[in-house]
Homo-oligomer: A and B are copies of this chain.
Amino acid sequence: MGYTDKDWLAINTIRILAADATFNANSGHPGAPMGMAPVAHVLFNKFMKFNPKNPNWVNRDRFVLSNGHGCMLQYALLHLFGYALTLDDIKNFRRVDSITAGHPEAHDTPGVEVTTGPLGQGISNAVGLAMAQAHTAATFNKDGFPLIDNYTYCFLGDGCLMEGVSSETSSLAGHLQLGNLIAVYDDNHISIDGDTNCAFTEDVVKRYESYGWHVVIVDDGDNDLEGIEKAIKECQEVKNKPSLIKLKTTIGFGSLQQGTHSVHGSALKADDIKQLKQKFGFNPEQSFVVPQDVYDQYHKHAAEGAAAEEEWNKLFASYATKYKAEHDDLARRLTGALPEGWEKNLPVYTPADAAVASRKLSEIVLTKIEGILPELVGGSADLTGSNLTRWKGAVDFQPESTGLGTYAGRYIRFGVREHGMGAIMNGMAAYGTIIPYGGTFLNFVSYAAGAVRLAALSQVRQIWVATHDSIGLGEDGPTHQPIETLAHFRALPNCMVWRPADGNETSGAYYVALTSKHTPSIIALSRQNLPQLEGSTVEKTLKGGYVLHEAEGAQVTLVSTGSEVCICIDAVKELAEKHNIKARVVSIPCFEVFDAQSKEYRLSVLPDGIPSLSVEVMSTMGWERYTHEQFGLNRFGASGAYKDVYKKFEFTPEGVAKRAIATIDFWKDVPNIRSPINRAFQQII
């Protein structure tokens, strides 16, 4: 307590930096930073523990700006505290190749924990960060060694509250009793369309109480620094509930337009900035000014954070002497590397092994590797028995009081909340000690598209166990049968979409997914049984695509994925026996990985001089990149037993053979058929 003019100087410095930067960029959102500068000042200086010189210290308090459009607030704070973000970076706000993008990007900007901007994501990431904290603490803390006790703080606005994803994750956070999560709701009554009265009149306090949150109201977020401090303290003391502070603020505080939506999303006018500076005792003719006194205050707190980390390092060293195995495990996890030799646990198969659904093969992988990969923590969006995501004997991640598990448990009951699950996985991965996975039907990964996109953009390792991956799910019908889903996520940069054809490919998919530190993976898995294929190996799978069945003098290449590969193998027999045609078969379980191979290799798989036909029982979009002709399903599926549905759409050896023959016929007059691998120029990537 005991706030002085020095505090207000700092707060107003932040406000003016936000106004200057958005004016200079002629773009951006000054309103939220100006309104939230007071709470940010109090939170960061009085409560938060972090070391700007090491933004990766594991026990730092986490801060998430869910209303990411207010990023100038965060950039200003990072700069003032001495993170690697200079005043020049702030002058380059929203310019090409700056580290101060239009919304905070975790992989670009030191000190930004997660990438936000798309509304509702940040608060959901914060739930994931808090879950990861609770789990990591339960796993590693010992008597006298409170290694992990950080808080997760989050700022959010009405936009975040309106988005469904925040409802999903807030409900789950309440259920999970995440006492280390404290969110500050910027209740400024303004959204882009004007007053929130026009669309958002729910009782937020009551809603969050219904989720099981502790809620505090601060009536004067513009001036009452003591009240803000008291509220945060109160929330810290509530140990078995997440907390929401409803903070009434004035958007664009200090501007002539304060309290209106005109300060939300565009720069202040020059005159307005002048009066703002005068009002706050700054020179109206100068821009981007930080009084030395403000740097001093903030650097002092930064030094306290550095000291705290030093203390922690000592604690961790002492922990090593007593709990060597745990110490080494945590230290390893923080590097993102997997334990030496872990991959020996991946199952391998021969054609003599039984036919198994690839969702079951996925379960076998999880079961075999969970012991050596304790960082693997995941669950399902209420489809555990269908996704087969839970290894036998797994303990649920639950608060003890539920009697259903513990925080050390590694199996998460996400509920029917796919989008929330994705956003939580992003937060969990960002914490640094966990590799998250989540199960749902492939079709419903689309519900989580917003979160998957941010995983790809912000380079987060996570695994989607996406079962029931085609019309092969059968009776549930078109509402559940993906058609466009693979094309969607294949088109998403830095997202690996896998569709393994058998056991070896499933192991290979997991190998690449787990060892790709900066890429999310979606593994599409069948409901129906698939035979173990002659010619598949884990090693070949790692190339993303390979020749499964070679044939001297072949007239056509059949190119396929997942459950259709074995149909292609049968089509080879059909073609040979009934039509005296030789065909080769290529399996491409992952476009993204195959594309990364050398051109020479890719041409060996899809060579010149022979026409090719892709076979995949969904949208053909994207297959033209690899094959001359495409057999797919550019319509919705049908409800029925899976074999009947495959037959209806001619995804049978005969149906494939018929199209292979058409392909050969159609291309027979073309001399020197070019493989589609050949391209006139390189793509920008």
Contacts and interface: CB of A to CB of B under 8 A. Distances in A.
Interface of A: 25, 27-28, 68, 94-98, 101-103, 105, 115-120, 158-160, 162-168, 171-172, 174-175, 191-193, 197-207, 209-212, 380, 382-386, 396, 398, 402, 404, 413-420, 443-444, 446-447, 449-450, 453-454, 456-457, 474-480, 483-484, 487-494, 613, 619-622, 624-625, 628-636, 638-641, 644-645, 648-650, 659, 662-663, 665-667, 670-672, 674, 676, 678-681, 683-685
Contact of A680 (B447, B636, B665): B665
A457 B636 CA distance: 7
A492 B487 CA distance: 9
Contact of A639 (B96, B167, B622, B639): B96
Given A175-B200, A680-B629, A685 B635 contact: yes
Nearest to A380: B193
Contacts of A681: 629, 631, 659, 662-663, 666
Given A192-B384, A635-B493, A680-B629, A416 B163 contact: yes
A415 to B, nearest CB: 4
B493 A193 contact: no
Contacts of A483: 491-493
Contacts of A197: 402, 404
B164 A165 contact: yes
Contacts of A28: 475
A650 B415 contact: no
A624 B25 CA distance: 38
A202 B242 CA distance: 13
Contacts of A205: 210
Most chain B CB within 10 A, of A166, A415, A672, is at: A415
B667 A171 contact: no
A115 B476 CA distance: 13
A217 to B, nearest CB: 15
B192 A383 contact: yes
A97 B619 CA distance: 21
A98 B640 CA distance: 9
B674 A199 contact: no
Contacts of A382: 159, 162, 191-193, 199
B446 A479 contact: no
Query: In the assembly, how many copies of this chain are there?
Result: 2
A102 B475 contact: yes
Given A203-B212, A484-B491, 12 more contacts: A95-B639, A95-B644, A96-B639, A102-B479, A162-B168, A163-B164, A191-B416, A192-B383, A193-B383, A193-B384, A198-B402, A663-B680
Contacts of A385: 192-193
A621 B620 contact: no
B164 A164 contact: yes
A478 B454 CA distance: 10
A386 B192 contact: yes
Contacts of A404: 197-198
Contact of A490 (B119, B475, B621, B632): B621
A202 B211 contact: yes
Closest 6 interchain pairs by CB? A164-B164, A624-B624, A96-B640, A167-B167, A666-B680, A199-B415
A684 B635 contact: yes
Contacts of A638: 96-97, 101
Contact of A206 (B167, B206, B480): B206
A478 B456 CA distance: 11
Most chain B CB within 10 A, of A420, A474, A477, A636, is at: A477
A480 B416 contact: no
B117 A477 contact: yes
A491 B492 contact: no
Nearest to A493: B635
Nearest to A486: B491
Nearest to A198: B413
Contacts of A478: 101, 105, 457
A624 B591 CA distance: 15
Given A159-B382, A476-B102, A644-B95, A413 B199 contact: yes
Contacts of A650: 684
A158 B381 CA distance: 13
A417 B163 contact: yes
Given A479-B115, A621-B490, A172 B199 contact: yes
Nearest to A664: B680
A480 B27 CA distance: 14
B629 A96 contact: no
Nearest to A117: B479
B119 A416 contact: yes
Contacts of A420: 164
A527 to B, nearest CB: 12
A202 B68 contact: no
A623 B551 CA distance: 31
Given A168-B163, A488-B491, A210 B212 contact: no
A52 to B, nearest CB: 23
Contacts of A633: 684
Given A94-B475, A203-B210, A478-B457, A683 B380 contact: no
A434 to B, nearest CB: 19
Contact of A491 (B105, B116, B619): B619
Contacts of A415: 162, 191, 193, 199-200
B175 A487 contact: no
13 contacts: A28-B475, A102-B480, A103-B476, A117-B477, A175-B199, A192-B384, A193-B380, A193-B384, A198-B396, A203-B212, A205-B210, A483-B491, A620-B683
